[in-house]
Structure 1
């Protein structure tokens, strides 16, 4: 009787995993027995095996060894995504109770505990998490480099929300998960908005599909930037995103559509409706070398329709048209030793460019090369050294506005609406983690722009930017940061065009909370 009662307790945990029952293999458990269903189900799942003579001997007392075998087999069988909270708690108690016996059987109890904990976390419905960043900023100039621009001026002093994000997710079943994010991203956003909402569907052949409004970041996955310095990816689209995992890499495809509206990051250019397609093949040849090929293509529904820039365009509000275009790149990573990597990327664009604009390069290129060394290898600091170069007009709808420190300083690599410059970048970033509480960091950037005699302009346009910051982790979820940023514009001919680009400095105190 004790043996059958223990069996029924385990049956209660795994019964939901398979609704159909196989025939009872034990001769001493008749069909009219009260435990018949439990015995049949657990025998079909391989959790109980009985004796060589075909009996189960349910009236015999069960040893702790036999019970531990049931627990181990149940853990290997149970589908915790469909279990109730009570089921998960019961299974966890069984793991704790029979820890020694499971240990003696060679079962990794620590791994079982971890599995139960992870699976239990998804039970019962929704999960919520998020972050809050609040900034106090003091700039030296009220209308200088740290001002927001032509439409929303920040002034010398600003206390405002930098970011609020609330994530939520629900594991719908073993193949479908829903994720969403509501938030406010900067001082310009006066209200909350749904920034992401998508379902992730597990498909056959080790692949998955995201449907809805999702974010993707191929450059981040390749380790091609730090902080918020992506050039093209780390963007959010509405559409379909599919990835197939391979033994040594992955293949990704997506298709998205944007309705008639201003482009992300451009508050003054109407791009019209367009489709955006993307493809990426990423391959790890071994643990030392990785290579990937990626492409983005923009297909405008009304390409060739004349539009115009606003009055602040350095070109002078010229009419223009947008044609279909593509951006393609190859990136790689070479790991010389743990913590020491050389990586880079080469980008090519193909477009006709805006009509009526002279000296336009319709196939500009860009590239970057990076040395990335961890603090574990150097002991006292991490080190990131990067060299990058942009051809003139290397940008149409997707510009590297956020590259190289836009979190603090804007207009480092794209000081004009149309990038008519050949731009060279030398960028370095260091970080020192002194303890679990204290972190310091430094950033330096030199950005040299050559107009290449565009519209009769001569001379260079150079920018120097450096940053020093200190972070203090008050708790694992609360961080305070004090940063000083300085930008020096060697304006040259630009002085008479844009007076906001002048030498400036900024002190920022940030409170960052994770929850």
Structure 2
């Protein structure tokens, strides 16, 4: 009988077992524990595995994240987040939810799970992600539905400290399909979908911006490899217009690499080049963007971590890179021309103990354009982890767009804000 149970333990990873099956198997494991030990079966590990499966199968799991913000602002330029404009209309006190998200998940069987994300904004609840993960033959991971893919985040290519920072290119929600396969240190991911929320509008000056028009098919491919000290790979995004309101195809190619000098010091970066199908005379149709990052963990310096990032981005580069912190949106004055912006993003984050932490951030962009001043932004903050689920954060943020943009840049002057945020994770 112990031999029969042992064979069942071997097969359980490959078969779809019901909750009742797992409960019975667990009882048999406990009853024949000594005999299974004698047969050389690792009962403790199998017992934990069965317990995890038993816990996950059959039930729905609810989790969520809540930000409640109290904002006290002082500014003299437009900021859509806080409702001011250049005409002097101000709303410099704002209390409300910065984020209200709920996640509903179900482990359907050992290899298949469902996740739905619900966002609440202005009293309305909408689901913005709903997808199924399962495993196909040959250990191919298959995902379908509405999901997000953000390969820069997966690779650690933008800082983990600022909540609102974004990828240079990517971080798309898509309705479609994803296939992923891993061979040792080598991995491949492919995506086919649409409704990525990308489209392009022209203003009177001939510039363009990403809008919310769902006008493009999206194809994406990432091929990479990673070892204990290194990583490198390549990415491709093909956004093809297939709607009468869309005029532009955007093909974006990227290569990335990273090297760990020690477990606490990593040098990494990404380089992009684009092929934009547009007909604007005199404007670049093959812009480039790259950034290099020195990531130093607090384990090395003891009193602080350091994130030192330098980027150069052609002003015609179409991406999601916002560096948008505390609603200041430092990229507001980025012009559309053939020049190249130079950007610094430096963060020092200190974890003093399990409860307290502090941080400093400095950001600056030189737009390489006459008539557009540099944009400078700095932030200081303190956080307190009241319980594992509740955190309090107080921070001050100031962005200076400059005073001499002469109407060419969208924003002039300064925005300053104090924010008290209460975060709950459950």
TM-score, normalised with respect to structure 1: 0.71
Q: How far is 1:291 from its partner?
A: 0.8
Counterpart residue number, 1:238? 175
1:449 aligned residue? 367
Task: Give the corresponding residue for 1:508.
Answer: 419
Among residues 194, 206, 211, which one is paired with 1:257 in the alignment?
Answer: 194
Structure with the larger strand share: 2
CA distance in 2, matches of 1:198, 1:470: 36
**Deviation sequence 1:217-246 (CA, Å, 0-9, x none):** 110111100243212222211111111112
Q: Is 1:299 the equivalent of 2:240?
A: yes
CA contact (8 A) 1:422 1:450 kept: yes
Deviation string for 1:84-130 (max 9, x for gaps)? 2x665565567678878877887656534532342222122322211
Residue 400 in 1 paired to residue 321 in 2?
yes
Q: 2:299 aligns with which of 348, 372, 376?
A: 376
Runs of 5+ unmatched residues, structure 1: 1-6, 8-41, 49-69, 306-320, 452-457
Structure 1 stretches of 4+ moved >6 Å: 93-106, 259-264
Residues 260 and 462 (structure 1 numbering): CA distance in 2 closer, same or farther, change over 3 Å?
A: closer
Q: Secondary structure at the match of 1:172?
A: strand
**Aligned counterpart, 2:139:** 206
Cα distance per residue 1:251-307 (max 9 Å; x no partner): 11111122998679x9994746211111111122x422211110111111147x6xx
Pair 1:158 & 2:94 matched: yes
1:340 maps to: 265
CA contact (8 A) 1:139 1:146 kept: no
Cα deviation, residue 489, structure 1: 2.0
Shift of 1:191: 1.4
C-alpha distance in 2 between matches for 1:416 and 1:117: 54
**2:309 matched residue in structure 1:** 386
How many equivalent residue pairs? 412
Shift in CA distance, 220/294, structure 1 to aligned 2, threshold 3 Å: same
Q: Mark the CA change 1:154 to 1:166 in structure 2 (over 3 Å): closer, same or farther.
A: farther
Number of the residue aligned with 2:153? 220
Higher RCO (CA < 8 A, seq sep 6+): 2
1:195 deviates by 0.8
Give the alignment partner of residue 411 of structure 1, picking from 306, 318, 329.
329
Partners of 2:159 and 2:362 in 1: CA distance: 13
SS of structure 1 residue aligned to 2:299: helix
Between structure 1 and structure 2, the one with the greater Rg is 1
Asked if 1:169 is matched to 2:105, the reply is: yes
Q: Deviations over 1:437-471 (max 9, x none)?
A: 112122111111112xxxxxx24520111111111
Tell me which of 266, 277, 289 is aligned to 1:352: 277
Give the whole-Å Cα distance in 2 for the aligned partners of 1:106 and 1:155: 70
- Counterpart in 2 of 1:82? 17
Unaligned runs of 5+ in 2: 202-207
CA drift at 1:428: 1.0
- SS of the residue corresponding to residue 178 of structure 1 reads strand
2:402 aligns to what?
490
Preserved contact between residue 141 and residue 181 of structure 2 (Cα < 8 Å): yes
The one of 115, 122, 126 aligned to 1:193: 126
SS in 1 for 2:158: coil
